[in-house]
Amino acid sequence: MKRELKFVVNGDSYDIWVEPNTLLVQVLRDELGLKGTKRSCDSGSCCACTVILNGKVVKSCSMLALQANGKEVLTIEGLANGAELHPIQQAFIDNWAFQCGFCTSGQIMAAKALLDENANPTREEIQMAMDGHLCRCTGYNMITEAIQDAAKRLQGQKLQEAAQ
């Protein structure tokens, strides 16, 4: 029997009815059409499905949608500011931090959550934060560099905003 799910996704409020056995990733992708969040493994081992829930990264394939009731979700689609890319997204592009791109949404969301918590992470701290994310294309180092670059850009942005 369907139950009510009231939550906010990328700033928009939704009030929908879902079966309890629905996973959060199914609601995001199939109900709301937000296909940017991917699925890859069926065993909670790859983090391709990572989204930000009330400010923290979670695997959307490994939680029931109804557990997001009353909460706020941020997906990759919610990151850019209209047509303007988020500095993390731009840093990923400029540092060739993706190839096939299938793991990229999850990686970027995790990078955002990391930099929100730790504005200047060391290489090791980045690797620790990103360790759940499986990637078959890149070899990881360029992703780490992109995140270091993103950290600099965000700090620069903060300084600019402070100056204004």
Partner 1 sequence: MKDIIFDFEYFVPKTIEEALKLLSQYDEGECKVIAGGQSLIILMKQRLLMPKYLIDIKGISDLDYIKLDDKQGLKIGALATHRSIEKSPIIQNGFSVLAEMEQNISSVETRNWGTIGGNVSHGDPGGDPVPVLIALDGKLKMTSLSGERTVDAEDFTLDYFETALRHDELLAEIQIPSIPPSTGVKFTKYSQIVGDYATASVAVLITLDKKEICDNVRIALGSVAVAPMRAKKAEEILKGKKISDDLLAEAGRIASEEASPTTDAEVSEEYKRDLVKVLVKRVGSEALARAKKA
Partner 2 sequence: MSEYSVIGKPTTNVDGTAKVTGEAVYTFDMTLPNMLYGKLLRSPHPHARIISIDTSEAEKLPGVKAVITGKDTPGGKYGLWRRFRELSDQEVLATTKVRFIGDAVAAVAAISEKIAEEALDLINVEYEPLPAVFEPMEAIKDDAPLVHDDFANNINNTRHIEWGDVDEGFKKSDYVREDRYTYSSQHPAPMEVHSSVASYDKGSGRLTVWSSTQSPYFLQLGLTDALKMREGDIRVIKPHVGGGFGAKNSTMPDSVNAAVLSMKTGRPVKIVFNREEEFTATEHRTAMHLALKIGLKKDGTIMAKEAKIITDGGAYTGLGATTLYLAGTYLTFPYNIPSYRYDGVRTYTNKMWASSVRSFGATPAVYASETQMDRAAHDMGIDPIEIRRKNAMTTGYEAPGQYRLGSCGLLPCIDRVEKRIKEKWTDLSKDEGIGFTAFAYMCGGIFNWIDTPYAFSGAMVKINVDGTVDLFTQASDIGQGTNTVSVMICAEELGIGIEDIRLHPADTATTLTDLGAWASRETLMNGNAVKAAAGEAKKVLIEVARMKLGENIVYDLEVKDKRIYLALRPERGFSYYDIVKDAIKRNDGEPIIGIGHYTPHRKGMVSPAFAFGSMGVRVKVDRETGQVEVKDIITAHDCGQTINPLGARGQVEGSIQLGLGWGLCEDLPTDNGMILNPSFVDYKLIRSRDMPQIELHDVPTYDPEGPYGAKESAEGTVAPTSPAVANAIYNVIGVEFNSNVLRPEKVLKAIRKKEEKEEEAMNG
Contact residues: partner 2, CB under 8 A: 29, 34-43, 45-46, 48, 75-77, 79-80, 85, 89-90, 92-94, 96, 98-105, 108, 127-128, 130-131, 133-144
Of residues 53, 26, 52, 54, the one with CA closest to residue 38: 26
93 vs 119, which CB is nearer to partner 2?
A: 93
Q: What is the CA radius of gyration of the chain?
A: 16
Report the C-alpha gap between 150 and 106 in whole angstroms. Answer: 16
Binding flag, residue 164, partner 1 (CB under 8 A)? no
Q: Which pair of structure tokens corresponds to residue 141? A: 């180092």
CB atoms within 10 A of CB 29: 19
Binding flag, residue 3, partner 1 (CB under 8 A)? yes
Report the C-alpha gap between 1 and 134 in whole angstroms. Answer: 35
Closest CB 19 distance from partner 1, rounded Å: 7
Of residues 66, 46, 49, the one with CA closest to residue 57: 49
Of residues 143, 144, 151, 81, the one with CA closest to residue 115: 151
Partner whose binding site includes residue 53, from partner 2, partner 1, none (CB under 5 to 8 Å by kind): partner 1
Closest CB 131 distance from partner 2, rounded Å: 5
Closest CB 138 distance from partner 1, rounded Å: 17
Stretch (H or E) spanning 15 = strand 12-18
Closest CB 32 distance from partner 2, rounded Å: 12
Binding-site ranges for partner 1 (CB under 8 A): 1, 3, 19-23, 26, 39, 42-44, 47, 50, 53, 56-59, 61-64, 66-67, 110, 113-114, 128-129, 131-133
